[in-house]
Amino acid sequence: MAYEVWAPEARRVEVRIGGGADSGDGGSGGGNGTDHPMRPVPGRDGWWRSADGLPREHGTRYAFRLDGGPLRPDPRSRRQPDGPDGPSAVVDHSAFPWTDAGWTGRPLAGAVLYELHVGTFTPEGTFDAAAGRLDHLVRLGVTHVELMPVCSFPGVHGWGYDGVSPWAVHEPYGGPDGLKRFVDAAHAAGLAVVLDVVHNHLGPSGNHLPAFGPYFTDTHHTPWGSAVNLDAPGSDEVRAYLIGSALSWLRDHHLDGLRLDAVHALADTRAVHFLEELSAAVDALSASLGRPLVLIAESDRNDPRTTAAREAGGLGLHAQWNDDFHHALHTALTGESRGYYADFARAPMAALARTLTGVWFHDGCFSSFRGRAHGRPVDRRTTPAHRFLGYAQTHDQVGNRAVGDRLSASLPPGLLAAGAALVLTSPFTPMLFMGEEWGAGTPWQFFTDHTDPELAEAVRRGRRREFAAHGWSEENVPDPQDPATRDRSCLDWSEPGRAPHAGLLEWHRTLLALRRALPELTDPDLTAVSVDFDEAARWITVRRGEVHTVVNLSGTPVGIPLHGHGGGDAGGGGTVELLAAFADSGADVPPPSPGGPLRLPPRSAAVLRRRPVLR
């Protein structure tokens, strides 16, 4: 077998087989391995290839040397057993004993996602430990696990967004075989697995790509520095590199989809956008494998073309996160009004109604946070609601707060239950952030494990300065490099068995069971959603067919009419059945009297169904 690498600017390339420690003399490594010359590949500009017959057994260590320089890992490394700066290791994907031959995947329509960080989902922080908790997710009623990034990055613990080996799996989590065991176990439990991947930047430490070629360009600049090269000279190979990585995750690790981080930061001026090319490649692989594969974008553009079909001039992604819904719900629940919450906080119930029926709040209107008009309307008649993910909490919205406080740190159980009702019965594809389902008392904070002392200190200082500018005391901002910051962020698995967490967990299970049982709750028709609200009294009702979700966010009891959606009792006569209810302090929620309002206690939620009169 031969080794190949793209290094268009190199004059001499060698591959070292075995060992990996650099002898420093630019020659053979002796006991540290043996260097072998590579030759340019005819007809493939910039590509180098070794002679055939070199060892390539599973686990073989190797590294490349360019122009007599230091040894560097393979840009397409499938495994970095000693971390991002060490030698690569050959991975024979066919050697893994998969048991999911009968897995046919799960579609996005009707799905419920669960965002999970492997390093803090359990104290052990490994794929195998996470797999041991999959039964909890099955009982909860989710369908897709969305893993935060697992690419190789320096150190042991981190969020994963500073990954530097886009084809390799973080070794402390369990490496490539650990990920495969997790996916295999998830499929056996009936759960699909989506992986968060980062194409818009690489981490600042351990990134060897610039030594190999023009993977980055100064044509564009991003918050992370030079942009990934998607449209400058050499970008054909860079795009192929990223698309190849995406397909490898789906094909070789049997993943069911990818969540694409911050696609608005992908600077690309070419006629065929990188995301369009990626979506075409993933759709082709899906057809070949005979199972659904999904691409879910994180985008702040509020542009429906992100998920529109390629044939209609869109990018062809299958779904995207909906931060506007989050912001509206967050302000309605908490009353926060700083930063990007300001526009939503002026009339939070109206903002929530606007997003529930029209997807985005900013759909071409002025954004005070941005100082300009923002967004584009969604065509409610032709766009299915399941293309948009709705959520009350995510890793971003929790972890990027100064102290990583969840909603449970400031809200009583009744308001947490009300937020859950609005998310899990919304027209969108719902997503939960790990531990949200029981109102986890643990924070989820920003933590790093940079091995470069200067970088570690720079991140520490920058984090404190950032929050000091927003009014937080620097002393209250956790040190990202302190191991205790990560430890505090691990879920406490004793919580679900005790009050008030057990009640919230049962409420989430009840709502998800209703979502499975009632066709109205997975109906993708946005035009079939109607909302009533009272801004001053702080109640809102959402009607989807014959199903009503009613919440009281105020601290006083309210009577909520159920005839605002088309006339008559609950919109057309008949009786109204109380399907589920949750209130602070265990207060009872009485069923509505015929023709009368629903009496809701303070901070409570209810789901009802109208049964029409049979004639």
What confidence tens digit (pLDDT) does each residue in 271-285 have?
A: 999 999 999 999 999
User: Do 117 and 212 reside in the same domain of the chain?
Assistant: yes
Domain assignment present for 133? yes
User: Do 180 and 281 reside in the same domain of the chain?
Assistant: yes
pLDDT digits (tens, 9 = 90+) for 3-30: 999 999 999 999 999 975 443 433 333 3
Tokens of 456: 């570690």
User: Do 126 and 26 reside in the same domain of the chain?
Assistant: no
Quick check: is 14 catalytic? Answer: no
User: Do 179 and 127 reside in the same domain of the chain?
Assistant: yes
Residue 442 backbone dihedrals phi, psi, to 5 degrees = -85, 140
pLDDT digits (tens, 9 = 90+) for 120-168: 999 999 999 999 999 999 999 999 999 999 999 999 999 999 999 999 9
Cα(119)–Cα(130) distance, rounded to whole angstroms? 9
Domain CATH for 139: 3.20.20.80
- Whether the per-residue pLDDT at 99 is higher than 90: the answer is yes
* Cα of 214 vs its chain's centroid, Å: 28
Which residue out of 277, 298, 532, 584 is catalytically annotated?
298
* Cα of 385 vs its chain's centroid, Å: 18
pLDDT digits (tens, 9 = 90+) for 298-309: 999 999 999 999
Domain CATH for 606: 2.60.40.1180
Domain assignment present for 383? no
- 65, 35 contact by CB (below 8 A): yes
Q: Which residues pair with 598 in a beta bridge?
A: 560
- The secondary structure element, H or E, covering residue 227 is strand 225-228
Q: Is 404 left (phi over 0), alpha (psi -120 to 50) or beta?
A: left
Burial class from Cβ neighbours inside 10 Å (0-12, 13-18, 19+) for residue 104 reads exposed
- 319, 288 contact by CB (below 8 A): no
Nearest to 440, CA basis, from 405, 484, 477: 405
* Residues 6 or more apart whose Cβ sits within 8 Å of residue 223: 265
User: Do 66 and 116 reside in the same domain of the chain?
Assistant: no
Quick check: is 237 catalytic? Answer: no
Cα(431)–Cα(146) distance, rounded to whole angstroms? 9
Instruction: Show the domain range for 42.
Output: 4-72
- The secondary structure element, H or E, covering residue 168 is strand 165-169
Nearest to 211, CA basis, from 16, 68, 80: 68
Q: What is the pLDDT of residue 470?
A: 62
* Residues 6 or more apart whose Cβ sits within 8 Å of residue 406: 393, 398, 435, 436, 439, 440, 442, 443, 444
* Alpha carbons within 13 A on the beta-carbon side of 611: 8
Q: What percent of the chain has pLDDT over 90?
A: 86
* Residues 6 or more apart whose Cβ sits within 8 Å of residue 401: none
- Whether the per-residue pLDDT at 572 is higher than 80: the answer is no
Q: What is the pLDDT of residue 108?
A: 97
Domain assignment present for 534? yes
Confidence of residue 474 (pLDDT cuts 50, 70, 90): low
Domain assignment present for 282? yes
Does the bond joining 500 to the residue before it have cis omega, within 30 degrees of 0?
yes
Domain count, the chain: 3
User: Do 124 and 23 reside in the same domain of the chain?
Assistant: no
Domain assignment present for 462? no
Choose one of 289, 304, 321: the last residue of a domain.
Answer: 321
User: Do 178 and 317 reside in the same domain of the chain?
Assistant: yes
pLDDT digits (tens, 9 = 90+) for 176-222: 999 999 999 999 999 999 999 999 999 989 999 999 999 999 999 88
* Alpha carbons within 13 A on the beta-carbon side of 55: 15
- The secondary structure element, H or E, covering residue 352 is helix 348-358
- 215, 255 contact by CB (below 8 A): no
Cα(188)–Cα(496) distance, rounded to whole angstroms? 24
Tokens of 127: 């794929």
User: Do 144 and 293 reside in the same domain of the chain?
Assistant: yes
Distances from the Cα of 444 to the Cαs of 116, 408, 485, in angstroms? 12, 12, 9
Distances from the Cα of 519 to the Cαs of 331, 475, 525, 526, 599, in angstroms? 29, 50, 12, 14, 26
Tokens of 352: 């929530």
Distances from the Cα of 99 to the Cαs of 55, 132, 264, 411, 524, in angstroms? 29, 17, 38, 43, 34
Domain assignment present for 361? no
User: What mean pLDDT is predicted for residues 75-90?
Assistant: 97
pLDDT digits (tens, 9 = 90+) for 404-454: 999 999 999 999 999 999 999 999 999 999 999 999 999 999 999 998 888
Q: What is the pLDDT of residue 476?
A: 80
Q: What is the pLDDT of residue 473?
A: 66
Residue found by looking up tokens 């080996």 in the block: 165
Cα(93)–Cα(252) distance, rounded to whole angstroms? 6
User: What mean pLDDT is predicted for residues 386-403?
Assistant: 96
User: Do 159 and 62 reside in the same domain of the chain?
Assistant: no
Nearest to 137, CA basis, from 413, 388, 500, 437: 437
Distances from the Cα of 58 to the Cαs of 92, 174, 247, 297, in angstroms? 5, 16, 21, 34
User: Do 55 and 122 reside in the same domain of the chain?
Assistant: no
Burial class from Cβ neighbours inside 10 Å (0-12, 13-18, 19+) for residue 75 reads buried
Tokens of 467: 């929050």
Domain assignment present for 338? no
Cα(569)–Cα(55) distance, rounded to whole angstroms? 76
Q: What is the pLDDT of residue 458?
A: 85
- 60, 17 contact by CB (below 8 A): yes
pLDDT digits (tens, 9 = 90+) for 519-545: 999 999 999 999 999 999 999 999 999
**Helix or strand or coil: residue 533?**
strand
Cα(60)–Cα(43) distance, rounded to whole angstroms? 29
Choose one of 283, 306, 321: the last residue of a domain.
Answer: 321
- 285, 250 contact by CB (below 8 A): yes
* Cα of 154 vs its chain's centroid, Å: 21
Q: Comparing 26 with 377, which gets the higher pLDDT?
A: 377
Within 213-347, residue ranges assigned H as helices are 235-252, 274-289, 323-334, 342-345
Burial class from Cβ neighbours inside 10 Å (0-12, 13-18, 19+) for residue 359 reads buried
End-to-end CA separation in angstroms for the chain = 77
Which residue out of 115, 146, 237, 261 is catalytically annotated?
261
User: Do 126 and 261 reside in the same domain of the chain?
Assistant: yes
User: What mean pLDDT is predicted for residues 470-474?
Assistant: 64
* Residues 6 or more apart whose Cβ sits within 8 Å of residue 59: 89, 90
Q: Comparing 125 with 462, which gets the higher pLDDT?
A: 125
Domain assignment present for 397? no
pLDDT digits (tens, 9 = 90+) for 239-291: 999 999 999 999 999 999 999 999 999 999 999 999 999 999 999 999 999 99
- The per-type count for the chain, helices as H runs and strands as E runs, is 15, 28
Choose one of 261, 289, 321: the last residue of a domain.
Answer: 321
User: Do 178 and 48 reside in the same domain of the chain?
Assistant: no
Average pLDDT, the chain: 93
Angle, helix 413-424 to helix 501-517, in steps of 10 degrees: 20
Cα(572)–Cα(97) distance, rounded to whole angstroms? 57
